[in-house]
Structure 1
């Protein structure tokens, strides 16, 4: 195995690789050398792990192939380095912005006030023909209220294949998206014929986040809990918290659901609604599999996150979480192109959960 291949293998396998591994892949990509898919994609997922090479990465932009430039741009963006902006502007002008959610999440490390003006002309394109619409909506949802300037553009996605994502963004933005309140009410109540059940729930939740009136959200998401399609309404009831007190009993029953996702959502929602952690903690703790390899079929990371939100009453989870955090090897099931990102997100969730428990 060559030194570069050995370095890339270590980066995908270990949470704390030897520093020379990052050195090797960054220098190879910055030199526009013949590297490998693994080395290239390690660099774009690196984030702060390559902060020591930020100057080299910035200086290398524009001196290699278009492919290399995109990798290095994402590497800079993942560090929150504003020197990525000119390259992102060039990509936007060429309609070549990142087209998937993992890459959009990398861009979220940049401040919205700097990057949003670069993105707005792209978001204004025809939503029906916008290949990167899903990714851009994901980015806007991560920014939340900081994406308020994009409200007119996001509204144009309602009624398209990206309706769910657009509703989610509007809810995350909150009161600055009040111009969309009537349309959200139409989706929530079914007056808009394009509204289906998933759309009605997120629309009702977004209507509450924008207007401050919880009536629609409580009616629509509460009905979902009673209908047997609960997992799609539980996260919104959790967000409503004590306002959803009338739904506490059916939520409590769903903590015994055969579905792991429903149990996890129900335990979190019950704690948020009632403030009572005693029934929720054992349910959430049972979902934290120490041997989990990152499969999206089980809600392990979500359960860890919710235990951290509960805080001190979740103290029985702390030894297990510390043991998982101490593991040397990364999650293995996520596709390699996002494995480092997924593992870093899990490590961050574990760290924050332990901080919440010990606060």
Structure 2
């Protein structure tokens, strides 16, 4: 068995470390070695430690105590480790953390909870929202998780709407839009935010509120007006994702969107290329723009839209097949992304490799691969 420090270094650095390295990490955590490094990588492990799920679940039960209500760092680590593999035995720990404190506030770590069934996660988040007040970290993390739950977050509509008029309004608007028709009762408030009439409305709220209004009512007029006006001005890059979601409904704005594919900003170019394809179905202008953003030496720096460009090429599918050799080469690399802080490095790299894998599956098989016979 490898020494613990060596094992932790290996799983942080390598995409495909020796399984014994993960074994050493699990041993350290379950034997209460009090290694913050081992704890930090275990919460990021996900399916990589699935063969140890029974042991981690047993360790969680011990940590929770006889009545299952104990909380603390140890409960959080084991709960996140199980949640990352989608193991339902994380739910008792999650419920205790939601009710008694210790629910993860680190947003990248908290996202692993989205591997659990959305309905179960929403129940825990409702408990948490009822006790949090207006704590900044807890509210932003909770709202992000609810957005990931989509329509399943409908039971939280009143709680989310209560965040309008606070510093969490921008995140709350996203959640309401993701919930969709079940949030139709907030439509008038969304109009007030989109038009700036609500006293709590800020300039950055308008486009997202207009998009959310379309999502909850099915009426695209306000979103097309607000987001289209911003994009036609040449300075409304933040309206591009919403026009992309509207798709062919935004056809009147296609030329303005195409013009933004020549923007000096990489994020704007990538968003415009994807939006143009979504609106028109024409991949020819979009693919070269997206492909140019896929830097094979990318370290994970969020200033560059590399992962987003890969995802969008995958959505385009066969018309973007020329991207496949580049993506296969990136996926074959042994080293993880190096930009992210070690506390999220595995999560960031695993997300990137999933994006690459999913994109390649949509782009089609490598040349010379025989089609499977029916």
What secondary structure sits across from 1:149 in the alignment? helix
Question: Secondary structure at 1:124's aligned position in 2?
Answer: helix
Output the aligned Cα RMSD.
1.4
Q: Residue in 2 aligned with 1:149?
A: 155
Of the candidates 275, 287, 309, which is equivalent to residue 281 of structure 2?
A: 275
- The whole-number CA distance in structure 1 between the counterparts of 2:150 and 2:261 is 30
Per-residue CA deviation, residues 319-355 of structure 1 (Å, 9 max, x unaligned), is 0000000000100001111110110000010011111
Residues 220-273 of structure 1: CA distance to partner in whole angstroms, max 9, x if unpaired? 101111223222100000010110001011111110011101100000011111
* 1:10 and 2:10 aligned: yes
Counterpart mapping for 1:1-359 below 5 A: 3-35=3-35, 37-64=36-63, 66-125=72-131, 127-129=133-135, 131-358=137-364
C-alpha deviation, 1:103, in angstroms? 2.2
In structure 2, distance between residues paired with 1:108 and 1:151:
18
Name the TM-score, length of structure 1 as normaliser.
0.96
Distance in structure 1 (CA, Å) of the matches to 2:341 and 2:306? 17
- Normalized against structure 2, the TM-score is what? 0.93
Closer, same or farther in 2 for the Cα pair 1:105/1:251, shift >3 Å?
Answer: same
The 2-side partners of 1:48 and 1:176 are apart by 33
Q: Structure 2 stretches of 5 or more lacking a match?
A: 64-70, 366-374
Compare 83-92 and 242-251 and name the one that shifted more. Answer: 83-92
8 Å CA contact retained: 2:122, 2:149: no
Contact 2:164 2:200 (C-alpha < 8 Å) held by counterparts: no
Structure 1: gaps spanning 5 or more residues: none
Q: Give the superposition deviation at 1:131.
A: 4.2
Larger CA deviation: 286-295 vs 102-111: 102-111
Report SS of the residue matched to 2:262.
coil
Q: Measure, in 1, the Cα distance between the counterparts of 2:221 and 2:86.
A: 39
Quick check: 2:193–2:209 contact (8 Å CA) kept in 1?
yes
CA distance in 1: counterparts of 2:328 and 2:135, whole angstroms: 46
Cα distance change of structure 1 residues 42 and 345 upon mapping to structure 2, 3 Å threshold? same
The farther-off stretch of 87-96 and 334-343 is 87-96
Q: Which moved more, 1:225-234 or 1:280-289?
A: 225-234
CA 1:126 to 1:343, structure 2 compared with 1: closer, same or farther past 3 Å? Answer: closer
What is the CA distance between 1:127 and its match in structure 2? Answer: 4.3
Q: Is the CA contact (8 Å cut-off) linking 2:88 and 2:116 kept in structure 1?
A: yes
Determine helix, strand or coil for the equivalent of 2:199: coil
